[in-house]
Amino acid sequence: MKLIYFRRGVWPIAHKVLLQEAQGWLNESINTIAIPFTFFLAFGLGLRGYIAEVEGVSYMAFLTPGLITMTILLEAYRTGAWGLWMDRWHQKMLDEYRIKPIHTTDIIMGEILGGFLVALIKGAIVAGILLLFSPVAIRWDALPLYFLMVFPGCIFFTCVGSMVGTSFPKPDHIAQSQTIFITPLLYLGGLFFPITALPGWIGPIIQWLPTTAAFEGGRDILLNYHIEWRYMLVIWAFALFSFIGATWFFREKLSE
């Protein structure tokens, strides 16, 4: 029975997300690469002469895994936000969801699956390009653990994005929400610097952010094949609560 639900509900939604991303894939790929590669040039190459090592590795080795993770999380957010925005405000698919025998959990799970697949593909593209220029010794046998860390991060960002996309009718509101909410999470989560460099009063707070878990935990896995279970618990907790919240929120929107 659950397999039937997957075929009728979850997979069609995920397939729709993949088809949307396949349109204009070249421009999408260039836009995806532009941000992390710019950060790589500005910080990785620009500051490597001033910052020799961070936590025992070169600054470029410290920065590169974070940029790969950032790409995956941003794409998950963007896919959730713009996908649900198109569904509600542009294509009016919420009316179809109301009459089809499909659960709200299936819709959100489909968005999560589609968003994760899109984010993973684009993250792999960015990783391939950055690793050409960065002397990073990635532990490839650690990829399963890394996926176990970034997948709940994608759940969190996709769920937040889906709530944003169904809430705001104007596209510029989505961009504003990313600036106000997502950007601080990325910058404070240890993307460009170790969280140990922060003042003591804010450090304990930053350690409980989902982006800190993704950046610090993902970096430690890829470089050292070491997993910090506290980070794993934090990011999965955020994923669970965001999924519950997004499901409830979407159900309320369908009932309007």
**For residues 167 and 254, is the Cβ–Cβ distance under 8 A?**
no
> What's the mean pLDDT in 221-233?
90
> What's the mean pLDDT in 233-253?
90
* Predicted local confidence at residue 96, as pLDDT: 63
Element (H, E) at 57: strand 57-58
- What is the extent of the structural domain holding 18? 2-255
- DSSP code of 136? -
Alpha helices in the chain (DSSP H): 2-5, 11-22, 25-39, 46-47, 59-85, 94-99, 104-133, 143-167, 171-177, 183-188, 203-206, 210-212, 218-224, 229-255
Is residue 237 pLDDT above 50, yes or no?
A: yes
The residue ranking higher by pLDDT, 29 or 219, is 219
Q: Distance between CA atoms of 245 and 163, rounded to whole angstroms?
A: 9
Residue 138 token pair: 């990635």
Among residues of the chain, what percentage have pLDDT more than 70? 88
Indicate the number of domains in the chain: 1
Which residues touch 154 (CB under 8 Å, ≥6 apart)? 72, 73, 76, 112, 115, 116, 119
* Predicted local confidence at residue 1, as pLDDT: 40
| Residue 102 CA: distances (Å) to CA of 85, 98, 105 | 19, 8, 8
Residue 85 binned pLDDT confidence (cut-offs 50, 70, 90): confident
Q: What pTM, to 2 d.p., does this model score?
A: 0.87
* Predicted local confidence at residue 139, as pLDDT: 83
Burial of 251 (0-12, 13-18, 19+ CB in 10 A): middle
Is residue 234 pLDDT above 70, yes or no?
A: yes
* Predicted local confidence at residue 84, as pLDDT: 77
Is residue 110 pLDDT above 80, yes or no?
A: yes
* Predicted local confidence at residue 162, as pLDDT: 87
CB atoms within 10 A of CB 244: 13
Q: Distance between CA atoms of 19 and 15, rounded to whole angstroms?
A: 6
Is residue 240 pLDDT above 90, yes or no?
A: yes
On average, the pLDDT of the chain sits at 83
Q: How many CA atoms lie within 13 A of 161 on its CB side?
A: 29
- Give the sign of the dihedral formed by CA 71, CA 74, CA 77, CA 79: negative
State pLDDT tens for residues 2-35: 444 555 667 777 877 788 777 777 777 788 888 8
State pLDDT tens for residues 44-62: 777 766 676 777 788 888 8
Q: How many CA atoms lie within 13 A of 59 on its CB side?
A: 16
